[in-house]
Amino acid sequence: MGESFADLKKAETYQALLAELVGTGLLTLAALLAGTPYAVALILAALVYGLGPISGAQLNPAVTLGLLVARRQPVVKGVLYLVAQVVGALLAAKVAPSIGDLGTYNAGKPVGEFVGAGLLVLTVVAVSDKWVPKAGGGVAIGAALGAGLLLSHGVLNPAVALAMGLGRTPAVWAAALGGVAFAALFDLLSAKQGQEQYQEEEQRGDTPEGQPAQAPAPRPAAPAYRPVTPIATISPSTRVMVPRARPSTPRGTTAKHPTPARSRWASVLNLLGRKAKQQPRRETFSRPASGD
What pLDDT was estimated at residue 217? 52
Cα separation of 268 and 263, whole Å?
9
Arithmetic mean of pLDDT, 115-134: 89
Tell me what pLDDT residue 277 has. Answer: 61
The residue among 249 and 168 whose pLDDT is bigger is 168
In this predicted model, what pLDDT tens digit does every residue of 176-203 receive, in sequence order?
A: 999 999 999 998 887 655 444 445 545 5
Residue 199: HSE in the Cβ half-sphere, 13 Å Cα cutoff: 5
- Say yes or no to pLDDT of 162 above 90: yes
pLDDT digits (tens, 9 = 90+) for 228-269: 445 445 555 555 565 565 555 555 555 455 555 556 667 767
pLDDT at 134 > cutoff 60? yes
CB atoms closer than 10 angstroms to residue 86: 18
Does residue 66 register a pLDDT over 90? yes
Q: What is the DSSP letter of 177?
A: H
**209-231 residue pLDDT tens:** 444 445 555 555 555 545 544 54
pLDDT for the residue numbered 263: 62
Among 168-172, 265-269, 281-285, whose mean pLDDT is lowest?
Answer: 281-285
- Predicted local confidence at residue 256, as pLDDT: 52
Q: What is the model's pLDDT at position 198?
A: 43
pTM of the model: 0.65
Model pLDDT for residues 94-121, shown as the tens digit of each residue: 999 999 888 888 899 999 999 999 999 9
pLDDT digits (tens, 9 = 90+) for 6-65: 777 888 889 999 999 999 999 999 999 987 899 999 999 999 999 999 999 999 999 999
pLDDT of res. 225? 47
Percent of the chain with pLDDT over 90: 45
Q: What is residue 35's predicted lDDT score, i.e. its pLDDT?
A: 77
What whole-number distance in Å separates Cα of residue 207 and Cα of residue 202? 7
- Where are the alpha helices (H) located in the chain, listed in sequence order? 2-6, 11-33, 37-55, 61-69, 75-95, 110-128, 137-152, 158-163, 170-204, 260-278
> What pLDDT is stored for residue 72 in this prediction?
86
Q: What pLDDT is stored for residue 231 in this prediction? A: 46
> Is residue 207 scored above 50 in pLDDT?
no
Q: Domains of the chain by range and CATH?
A: 2-204 (1.20.1080.10)
For the chain, the distance separating the N- and C-terminal CA atoms, rounded to the nearest angstrom, is 157
